[in-house]
Amino acid sequence: MARRIMHIDLDAFFVSVEQALKPELKGKLVVVGGRPDKRGVVASASYEARKFGIHAGMPLAAASRLCPQAIFIEGSFPKYRDASHRFMEILADFSPFLEPVSLDEAYLDVTGFESIHGSIHQMATKIKQQIKDELGLPASVGIASGKVVAKIAAELSKPDGLLEVASGEERSFLAPLPVDKLPGVGKKTEQILRGLGINTIGELPTMPLDALKSHFGAFGEVLHRYARGIDDRKVEPPVAAKSISRETTFGKDTRDRAFLKATLRYLGERVGAELRQENKQAKCVTLKLRYADFTTITRRHTLSQTSDSDQTIFDTGIMLLKKALSQERQLVRLIGIGVSNLVEGGRQLDMLDASAQRQEQLNKAIDRIRNKYGFSAIQTGRTLLLKDIFPETGEGYKLQTPSLSR
């Protein structure tokens, strides 16, 4: 049976989220990225604003010259992340074969789903409707036998579009389009192709395969296939995280042991909480340090037994920290801790000794409270130190939470 692949991409995503939250912005010239007097670039422009030539990546100042009456919005990432999360949840309800590509874009393998929804076209209409009903966001959907054609179809259908390319029609659908519509064809490749007299996708397969390979190497072969509408790549559900880590850069470089330890404890607890939330156990703990001169080191330790306990992560981190500091005199600019070589959790309780059992129960209790009231609801002995030594108002060190990264 021919495959049916959907590509779903939200329209003017950041702008649409702002409009969903503030309906008075609907239909207006809206740009998300920042105020026009700030440095920075356009992240997303409403379709109305695009008519003035505004597009993503353009400096804000240039955008405001093109269209001074546009409404410029700073934007805030957590809102977009939330919307993205809910968007992916809706898609996952329709098919388990979901591959998120970016915040607002995903492939869905829907082969064989027509019997449930009447047709794949009707299924796409329902998906669009549900995204609109639940999130207030417009989406465009492309349907084809492979990813490349589905993606191009979605793009051509925008905004609020739906375009299905029937099986067997892929090549003729692509033929009249300019070559730079093919994924992977950037400015440079486009220039070479145009130099060879190839302007449309339809002209590409008329070139001998060897000639394409001599210009583009292995990619020449891929281009030749894509241009004929052939793309067997699977829709790949995301693989589980292979490692979990947290790090932070200090406001001021330091070698204060108590402070470094307290920070390590805090970061280690965040790593432990995520590990347990994902129901995983770790075999390795890694410490990362960046010194004042920006040299960065990582030191890794393999545990004798897999673990998901804050205490084990912290103890191992401290051991690695002591060793590292004894070999280096510089001040520390960044500290991070991570776990890797993850295996599924589900350890048998009776395999643990009594103190490990107590530790596990404590970790679980802490996680429950934090899930309910937020991470800072509980401060363990060590992280409390952070408050005592470095009160919010004081000069000197301060944990820069925004730089906290995975």
Q: Which residues bind Mg ion (CB under 5 A)?
A: 9-10, 13, 104
> Closer CB to ligand TTP, residue 182 or residue 260?
182
Task: Compute the Cα dihedral for 13, 14, 19, 25 and give only its sign.
Answer: negative
Crossing angle, helix 354-373 and helix 257-277, to 10 degrees?
Answer: 90
Residues 157-196, one symbol each (x = binds ligand TTP by CB under 6 A, - = not), give: -xx-------------------------------------
56-115 residues near ligand TTP, rule: CB under 6 A = 56-57, 103-105
Instruction: Report d(CA 36, CA 39) in Å as an integer.
Output: 8
Question: SS3 string of 9-49?
Answer: EECCHHHHHHHHHCHHHCCCCEEECCCCCCCCECCEECHHH
Which of 18, 99, 105, 164 is catalytic? The answer is 105
Contacted entry of ligand TTP, Mg ion, none for residue 99, CB cut-off 5 to 8 Å set by kind: none
Q: Would you list the DSSP string of 174-199?
A: HTTSBGGGSTT--HHHHHHHHHTT--
Strand partners, 105: 9, 102
From residue 381, give the alpha-carbon distance in Å to each of 261, 358, 371, 387, 397: 11, 17, 19, 11, 19
Nearer Cβ to ligand TTP (141/321): 141
Per the annotation, the verdict on 105 as an active-site residue is: yes
The least CB distance from residue 149 to ligand TTP, in Å, is: 17
CA–CA distances in Å: residue 63 to residues 42, 52, 56, 85, 393: 8, 9, 10, 30, 39
Minimum separation from the CB atom of position 9 to Mg ion (A): 4
Our CA angle for 104, 107, 113, nearest 5°, is 130
Nearest residue (CB) to ligand TTP, 66 versus 297: 66
Of the ranges 10-18, 119-127, 191-199, 354-362, which one interacts with ligand TTP (CB under 6 A)?
10-18
Residue 105 C-beta: closest distance to ligand TTP, Å: 6
Q: How many residues bind ligand TTP (CB under 6 A)?
A: 15
| Min separation Cβ 338 and ligand TTP, Å | 27
**Residue 14 near ligand TTP by CB under 6 A:** yes
Kindly tell me the sign of the dihedral angle through the C-alpha atoms of 18, 21, 26, 29: negative
**The entry of Mg ion, ligand TTP, none that residue 14 binds, CB within 5 to 8 Å by partner kind:** ligand TTP
Q: Interface with ligand TTP includes 18 (CB under 6 A)?
A: no
Q: How far is the CB of 7 from Mg ion (least distance, A)?
A: 11
DSSP SS3 for 118 = coil
* Both structure tokens of 25: 């912005």
CA distance 277 to 25: 38
Residue with Cβ nearer ligand TTP (106 or 212): 106
According to CB under 6 A, which residues from 20 to 59 bind ligand TTP?
43-44, 56-57
Min separation Cβ 14 and ligand TTP, Å? 4
- For 253, the 3-state DSSP assignment is strand
Known catalytic residues are 105
The contact set with ligand TTP (CB under 6 A) reads: 9-14, 43-44, 56-57, 103-105, 158-159
